[in-house]
């Protein structure tokens, strides 16, 4: 006999039997095939796999940037299938943080302004929190620098701070160390690990890099759109 726990914890973000197909020219490409996946709060998951295996597709679907062909994406246990574009946009801003391989900072904005960017059209002033986050990632002395005055590692730290500005449930990172040297990459990963532990944020990081798996709680592998545990 086993007992159902009284309160089951709902994962902040999950894929339920997700399939993603692209119709292109000659035939259809199945980028994801019946993928079931969940990330828990405070957990770091590394997604590995060969090129073209569907890692970026999986992250885009998780991040509500792309919609699955079949199956559903669940945000705190609720399906996102019926959401309008505006509701998906709000959900991204409120619950998710993105970190990209090439940083994608706005070149005209200072570090603080880049961190504040997700809230730019909201009434509340988050400047103080932006300062705190930049201090947290070790850029307390670079607040007013523009991206071209920052190194690659510093840019990625600004991007991480931006991803955290709205206290997201999950941080989604597509090859966050892809454009960084090994030492800088290590520092960024330590940062992510610390954030996951301290803030209880779930982290899903796509990577080619063995290094990432060292800092991960678990690693999953995608091969031709099929996900399995490693």
Ligand X SMILES: Nc1ncnc2c1ncn2[C@@H]1O[C@H](COP(=O)(O)OP(=O)(O)OP(=O)(O)O)[C@@H](O)[C@H]1O
Report the distance separating Cα 119 and Cα 116, nearest Å. 6
Contact string (CB under 8 A) for other proteins, positions 138-177, x = contact = ------------------------xx--x-----------
Report the distance separating Cα 76 and Cα 90, nearest Å. 15
Question: Looking at 45-53, 130-138, 151-159, 191-199, which segment touches ligand X (CB under 6 A)?
Answer: 45-53
Question: Looking at 5-13, 30-38, 113-121, 203-211, which segment touches other proteins (CB under 8 A)?
Answer: 113-121
Report the distance separating Cα 121 and Cα 135, nearest Å. 24
Report the distance separating Cα 166 and Cα 163, nearest Å. 7
Closest approach, Cβ 112 to other proteins, in A, equals: 9
Residue nearer to other proteins on the CB measure, 83 or 117: 117
Nearest CA-CA partner of 13 in 100, 95, 99: 95
Contact between 178 and 101 under an 8 Å Cβ cutoff? The reply is yes
Q: Which residues pair with 133 in a beta bridge?
A: none
Report the distance separating Cα 202 and Cα 13, nearest Å. 9
Q: Does 57 bind ligand X (CB under 6 A)?
A: yes
Report the distance separating Cα 163 and Cα 105, nearest Å. 11
Nearest CA-CA partner of 33 in 172, 222, 175: 222
Subset of 29-58 contacting Mg ion (CB under 5 A): 56
Question: Looking at 52-60, 84-92, 107-115, 131-139, which segment touches ligand X (CB under 6 A)?
Answer: 52-60
Look at residue 66 and give its three-state secondary structure.
coil
* Residue 108 binding: pick among ligand X, Mg ion, other proteins, none (C-beta 5-8 Å cut-off by kind): other proteins
∠ CA(108), CA(89), CA(99), 5° rounding? 55
* Given 21, 34, 93, 193, the residue binding other proteins (CB under 8 A): 93
Quote the distance between the C-alpha of residue 36 and its chain's center: 17
Q: Does 90 bind other proteins (CB under 8 A)?
A: yes
Residue nearer to other proteins on the CB measure, 93 or 217: 93
Q: Does 41 bind ligand X (CB under 6 A)?
A: no
Q: Does 54 bind ligand X (CB under 6 A)?
A: yes
Residue nearer to other proteins on the CB measure, 163 or 216: 163
* Given 56, 146, 179, 184, the residue binding ligand X (CB under 6 A): 56
List residues binding other proteins (CB under 8 A): 60, 63, 65-66, 85-86, 89-90, 92-94, 98, 100, 104, 106-109, 117-118, 120-121, 125, 127, 162-163, 166
């Amino acid at each position: 006999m086993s007992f159902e726990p009284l309160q089951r914890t709902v994962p902040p973000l999950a894929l339920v039997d997700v399939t993603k197909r692209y119709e292109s020219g000659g035939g259809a490409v199945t980028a994801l095939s019946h993928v079931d996946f969940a990330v828990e709060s405070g957990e770091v998951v590394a997604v590995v796999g060969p090129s073209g295996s569907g890692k970026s597709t999986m992250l885009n679907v998780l991040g509500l940037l792309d919609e699955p062909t079949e199956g559903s994406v669940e945000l705190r246990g609720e399906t996102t299938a019926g959401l309008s574009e505006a509701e998906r946009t709000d959900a991204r801003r409120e619950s998710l943080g993105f970190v990209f391989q090439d940083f994608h900072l706005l070149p005209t904005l200072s570090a603080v302004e880049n961190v504040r960017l997700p809230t730019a059209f909201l009434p509340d002033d988050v400047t103080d929190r932006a300062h705190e986050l930049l201090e947290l990632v070790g850029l307390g002395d670079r607040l007013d620098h523009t991206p071209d005055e920052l190194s690659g590692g510093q840019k990625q730290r600004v991007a991480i701070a931006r991803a955290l500005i709205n206290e997201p449930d999950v941080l989604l990172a597509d090859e966050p160390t892809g454009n960084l040297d090994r030492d800088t990459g290590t520092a960024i990963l330590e940062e992510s690990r610390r954030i996951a532990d301290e803030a209880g944020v779930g982290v899903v990081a796509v990577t080619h890099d063995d290094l990432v798996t060292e800092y991960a709680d678990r690693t999953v592998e995608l091969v031709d759109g099929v996900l399995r545990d490693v």
